[in-house]
Amino acid sequence: MEIAQGMLNGFQVALQPANLIYCFIGVFIGTLVGVLPGIGPAAAVALLLPSTFALTPVAAIIMLSGIYYGSMYGGSTTSILVNIPGEAASVVTCLDGHAMARQGRAGPALGIAAFGSFIAGTLSIIALTLLAPALVRVTLSFGPPEYFALMILGITLVTYFSHGSMVKALMMAVVGVLLGCVGVDTISGRYRFTFGIQTLMDGVGLVPVIMGLFGIAEVLLNLEQTVHERIYAAPTGGLLPNREEWKRSALPIARGSVLGFVLGILPGAGAIIASFASYAMEKRLAKQPERFGKGAIEGVAGPEAANNAAAGGAFIPLLTLGIPANPVMAILLGALMIHGLQPGPLLMKQAPELFWGTIVSMYIGNALLLVLNLPLIGIWTRLLRVPYELLFPLILLFCLIGSYSVTNNVGDGVVMWVFGLVGYLLKKFDYEPAPLVLAIVIGPMMEEALRQSLILSAGDFGIFFDRPIAAGFIFAAVLLLAAPLVTRRARIMNAAE
């Protein structure tokens, strides 16, 4: 009954003309971001975050969410036609999708990518609808110790599932926590780590940091690369897969939907790991694994379903716990806070119109994406011919305008350029920026929960181990940190023998 009432309220919110328009704008821009290589959803959401300050919180989150899951749809187009992933999660689609295009089967490849994305996206939203209220009821019993332990576990999961060195990811998380402490101490009211710089007295701005790490850094990296690929003609017909192709794709779509949703919930895992895991699983389960990499439609259907299901799953920890599962969710967390809302279990009670309106808008957005992707493939293909000499200066201009417009402070522009150079160096030396961004967002909340817990216990750290839920989260974090050390030790001993 609670879910039915919430969905009814959500439809009343999402079907308002203004919110429908912003949903369409979000998924349209998301598809465009997915098609154009070198931008990515995190950079796009960061670029457009300042434009939402004049909107209502509901309209802002609906539009930004649409950009995120819309980019998951669009990334398959360039992967199949050009062999360049428009979005990182679509890398694996290049393997069989582009092979199908070379064989003259671009139509079915694009069709199954669109339909698989729609099916998986819808299933993940249904699961989100059913699971989110139950998780909210559980987390309402959390106190400061449980929140602190949960955030420790969240940061640990991000570092554990990082694509590179876990030590480097931990270093990024620690730096992020320290950056989150810059500014006014919320309990004592004193300034910390500002060094007398006026811009830092309100803390390190989230928008300039994100725009620098994901906008400026991506432009600098892409300027180093010159890619010339043949663009296979977009099919004008034959986008519907035949019966045999649907038969081969049905189970991969189902498996990819479940796998992607589960991995999307885990902080740090997300769509990239989900798409690769789905491809590996389908290749292992296939009766003819040698077909993969040579145009197997299962290699398109499974990963595309997985990365779209992961996009839906990522909203569960954000809406129920206030924990971002990836950099885009961290930006959405910042957007909620900028609009005066506190993400977490109370969000459903304090702002039900935003909670249910966002979920229902995702159903509408998925339908819009299916309508957009298939008929407009020819237009998306022509957009690939836009020269980067025009595209990248526009991105830099939007970054400058966005970072300045938040507080009308020139210092934020300087912060953006500093983190742009830092982000460029991080990418060059294989340091991931995601743990840094997540820690900047989580750090202040984690510190506040820690200090509230110690006030409750009169300075006794035993409060984190006396409460079963908090102790369980901390124990799980310790296991994740110790696991790589144990496995490395075991490999060394086996090698010695």
- 12-58 per-position pLDDT tens digit: 888 899 999 999 999 888 888 777 765 667 777 877 887 788 888 89
Assess whether pLDDT exceeds 70 at residue 388. Answer: no
* Domain enclosing residue 275, as ranges: 2-496
pLDDT at position 21 is: 92
Mean pLDDT of 306-323: 83
Neighbours of 457 (CB within 10 A): 15
Tell me the two tokens of residue 213.
Answer: 């790490």
User: What is the rounded average pLDDT for all residues in the chain?
Assistant: 80
The CB-side HSE value for 114 (13 A sphere, CA atoms) comes to 23
Mean pLDDT of 195-202: 82
Higher pLDDT, 87 or 147: 147
Mean pLDDT of 97-112: 81
pLDDT at position 22 is: 92
Give how far Cα 125 sits from Cα of 76, 140, 257, 308, 318, Å.
20, 22, 11, 10, 14
Q: Domains in the chain: how many in total?
A: 1
Mean pLDDT of 136-151: 78
**In this prediction, what percent of the chain has a pLDDT beyond 70?**
87
Global pTM value? 0.70
pLDDT at position 130 is: 85
- 427-436 per-position pLDDT tens digit: 888 887 777 8
Strands (E) in 155-311, as ranges, are: 183-184, 191-192
CB 131 within 8 A of CB 312: no
- 436-492 per-position pLDDT tens digit: 877 887 788 788 888 889 888 888 888 888 888 889 889 988 888 887 777 777 777
- 232-275 per-position pLDDT tens digit: 545 545 667 788 888 888 899 999 899 888 878 776 556 777 88
Q: How deeply is 263 buried, as exposed, middle or buried, from its count of CB atoms within 10 A (0-12, 13-18, 19+)?
A: buried
469-476: long-range pairs with CB below 8 Å, 24+? 469/142, 469/146, 469/149, 470/145, 470/146, 470/148, 470/149, 471/149, 472/149, 473/146, 473/149, 473/150, 473/152, 473/153, 474/149, 474/152, 474/153, 476/153, 476/156
- 159-184 per-position pLDDT tens digit: 776 666 778 888 888 898 888 888 88
Mean pLDDT of 423-428: 87
461-468: long-range pairs with CB below 8 Å, 24+? 463/145, 464/145, 464/148, 464/149, 467/143, 467/145, 467/146
Higher pLDDT, 238 or 189: 189
